[in-house]
Structure 1
Amino acid sequence: MNNKILSLLNNNLLTVTPSLIRSFDEETSKIPGIIKLTLGEPNFNTPSHIKISGIKAIVDNKTHYAPNRGIFELREAISHYLQRHYNLTYNPKSQIIVTNGASEAISTAMNAFLQKEDVVLCPAPAFGLYKNLAEINGAKYIEIDTEENNYKLTPEKLTKYLKKYCDKVKMVILNYPNNPTGITYSENEIKRFADVLRQFSVVVLSDEVYSEFSYKERHTSFSQYLPEQTILVNSVSKSYAMTGWRVGYLCGPTEIISNLGKVHQANIATIGTMNMFAATEALNNGDLDIQKMKLDYKKIRDFVCKKLKKIGYKIAPAEGAFYVYVKIPTDFKGTSIDYARQLAQKAHVAVIPGAAFVKGDQRSFRISYAASIKDLTKALDNLEEFTARRQSNGQNNSLSCS
């Protein structure tokens, strides 16, 4: 590439690293016989009635440009869904934008709010997209370490960081149930966070894409207790096994949504019209689909957690989503990437190293149990054999990947 052109790129972009989740998944996919427990991809097909709705939209020639904020039928379905499931009130005419998946919803919000030297606070470990978007915009991304508290942020620690960075804090990001840890927050905890944040002039980006998969207790949306400061992000991708349809949405106060709409319009204008009709069907008539998937995920979670503990691993409380965050044995002296590579090459199990979710490294790895029970059983058996071999061969400190 012409270096003169390269030098014209946004300097912030040059320092941002690509997603380690994607690159590590690609790296390990080349290993023969690998069992992939890497990506957050539901192990279900989109329910038939939703697919039929998308097909019907195509047959009915609903294939032309849709309004920038999405078809009204879908915005209305989102509004009704949020009211029915989480007791939220959003006007479909003025407080909802349909986006190209949750990723674009997050991107739209962060690009709209963040400027150079703004501070973004985010509990860590966290999905890497938040850090990258903050840094592209020249903002300072500050991780709040939660490992010592079983990966949970506390109101006291949040207050400490808000006071430390004071009026430089522009945004606080909450993602729960959390990717990668699977932890989530109770209604009382959400109330306490809201009480803290109400005292500061900050926007809360609440990423709740795994809201339907909360196993400990019913999910409470942050928007219920601080709607005037909250940008809510959600999608149909995980809850209805519709990752490839790319339908997400963001909700917020009318004037904020009006301005976020400008960013959304400039980025993509609108998403696929037929996809929106499929999502409308999902939100209106897919509650039973969610219940079935949630029941299956919970059974699989229980099986996976029990087996991991039997092997000897320490894990974070897997209260939601479809991930288990696993601590690397203390006798292993390498990085999380080293350990994950050993698992891939010696046990033929692909996981995501903890380095994908923090700025430096974290001696953990993420397992996605959104996989078949056959693959999970084989993967866990392989992990058990791998662990036993390391112990019996006295290779506790080996970094060899041969």
Structure 2
Amino acid sequence: MKNELLSLLNKNLLAVEPSLIRKFDDEISKIPGIIKLTLGEPYFNTPDHIKIAGIKAIIDNQTHYAPNRGIVELREAISEYLRRRHYAVSYDPQEQIIVTNGASEAISTAMNSFLGEGDVVLCPSPAFGLYRNLAKINGARYIEIDTEDDKYELTPEKLKTYLDEYHTSVKMLVLNYPNNPTGVSYSENEIKKLAEVLEEYPIVVLSDEIYSELVYKKKHVSIASYLPEKTLLVNGVSKSYAMTGWRVGYLCGPREIITNLAKLHQANIATIGTINMIAAAEGLVNGDDDIKVMRAEYEKKRDFVCKWLKKIGYSFIPTDGAFYIYIRLPLDFQGSSIDYARTLAQRAHVAVIPGAAFATQDQKYFRISYAVSDDKLTEAMKRLERFVKGREK
């Protein structure tokens, strides 16, 4: 029997499907002995000096409400970190930064603030499903830009085509790089050329750079360095410092825009935990060596997995960063990406995420996360090889 209150809910919310990533992960997690290459979470523990900073904050009774935009020490650390590292951007810690409940809240604050009924959001596809769901909740049209023919990169030419087609309604471009699920990123020149196109249009760029510290060969450059007045920069400490459970992200942008976005942030969560912010500040100030160690390990894992995948016979998208590989389904497989992922889980006891999680139309791909231990990665590759060879017989 349906609850009568359902009819009172926001109709846009009713039309949104729960995260397929979480849903599928929950489904296959019940299989005994399964090796999960599903969720995008670092397998490292939070570095000790960061944990100690959090513990010390508790002992020192720093357990009270923090300012809505976050403690000054963390906002200053974010500003200095972005200046010091490879971002080439400058933000006033007092007026241009909001500390958020993870990067997810930074994204939702931005999209919920800008989007309304009938607005158009452009997003290169495939992409993380959160962007699509937030657009739908706000009644906006989520337009996917298929990048498959361009090696999964958004080209200036294709961007201009879509901007011209939807010019009367387009309000936002979502750009995530390194990309989840492909791991593809952009060179400095590629970012510059995209910025040159965007400069000519009245549009906000939501740049999700949460994986920016996990770029292996290319130099990461924020599009905010070219479009500071049009870009909302999203980042956080979850992926770079193995702090997913601490839930500390941040949103940076033009002064007048951040002033208004802070109103929604204040209404939604007021502020995040003081202890968490103190720990995050420690990471940003003193954690450069932690990043180097983790990035080197992820790069080794990527090379290891790519070698195995080639040996097995899978084709996949060359990855520049993050800790994902986007793998094509075998050409002779007739079912959907969900069918294939479910088959792998049931027969090979290896859990992956189907490509359907990253686009409206099913993708003939599946995503693996190699942010797991070497032992688990090796065993998962052996299982995949046995499955593929057995299937060929």
- Normalising by structure 1, we get a TM-score of 0.97
Report matched runs for 1:308-327 at 5 Å: 308-327=309-328
1:288 Cα deviation after fit: 0.1
Letter in 1 for 2:38: T
Quote the residue 1:258 is aligned against. 259
Cα 1:119–1:62 change in 2 (3 A) is: same
Letter in 2 for 1:234: N
Q: Deviations over 1:62-120 (max 9, x none)?
A: 00000000000000000000000122100000000000000000000000000000000
Alpha-carbon contact 2:100-2:106 (below 8 Å) kept: yes
Quote the residue 1:230 is aligned against. 231
Quote the residue 1:178 is aligned against. 179
Alpha-carbon contact 2:207-2:223 (below 8 Å) kept: yes
Report matched runs for 1:387-398 at 5 Å: 387-392=388-393
Quote the residue 1:106 is aligned against. 107
CA–CA distance in 2 between the matches of 1:153 and 1:19? 24
Cα 1:2–1:328 change in 2 (3 A) is: closer
Alignment pair present for 1:275 and 2:264: no
CA–CA distance in 1 between the matches of 2:262 and 2:2? 35
Report matched runs for 1:1-400 at 5 Å: 3-85=3-85, 86-392=87-393
CA–CA distance in 1 between the matches of 2:320 and 2:129? 21
Letter in 1 for 2:328: K
Letter in 2 for 1:13: L
1:216 Cα deviation after fit: 1.8
CA–CA distance in 2 between the matches of 1:313 and 1:284? 41
- Normalising by structure 2, we get a TM-score of 0.99
Alpha-carbon contact 2:186-2:218 (below 8 Å) kept: no
SS for the counterpart of 2:182 is coil
1:261 Cα deviation after fit: 0.1
Letter in 2 for 1:390: R
CA–CA distance in 1 between the matches of 2:2 and 2:289? 55
CA–CA distance in 2 between the matches of 1:151 and 1:354? 14
Letter in 2 for 1:59: I
CA–CA distance in 1 between the matches of 2:260 and 2:230? 15
1:4 Cα deviation after fit: 3.1
Aligned residue-pair number:
392
* Structure 2 gap segments, 5+ residues each: none
CA–CA distance in 1 between the matches of 2:224 and 2:81? 14
CA–CA distance in 1 between the matches of 2:294 and 2:228? 29
Letter in 2 for 1:307: W
CA–CA distance in 2 between the matches of 1:353 and 1:185? 24
* Structure 1 gap segments, 5+ residues each: 393-402
Quote the residue 1:399 is aligned against. none
Letter in 2 for 1:122: C
CA–CA distance in 1 between the matches of 2:376 and 2:151? 28
1:187 Cα deviation after fit: 0.2
1:167 Cα deviation after fit: 2.2
CA–CA distance in 2 between the matches of 1:180 and 1:117? 27
CA–CA distance in 2 between the matches of 1:55 and 1:167? 52
1:150 Cα deviation after fit: 1.7
SS for the counterpart of 2:185 is coil
Quote the residue 1:398 is aligned against. none
Worse-superposed segment, 215-224 or 317-326: 215-224
SS for the counterpart of 1:33 is coil
Q: Deviations over 1:279-312 (max 9, x none)?
A: 0000000000000000000000000011101111
CA–CA distance in 2 between the matches of 1:217 and 1:128? 26
1:184 Cα deviation after fit: 0.2
SS for the counterpart of 1:166 is coil
1:217 Cα deviation after fit: 1.5
CA–CA distance in 2 between the matches of 1:138 and 1:216? 39
CA–CA distance in 1 between the matches of 2:176 and 2:2? 40
CA–CA distance in 1 between the matches of 2:371 and 2:25? 15
SS for the counterpart of 1:228 is coil
Alpha-carbon contact 2:99-2:249 (below 8 Å) kept: yes
Structural RMSD (CA):
0.7
Letter in 1 for 2:269: I
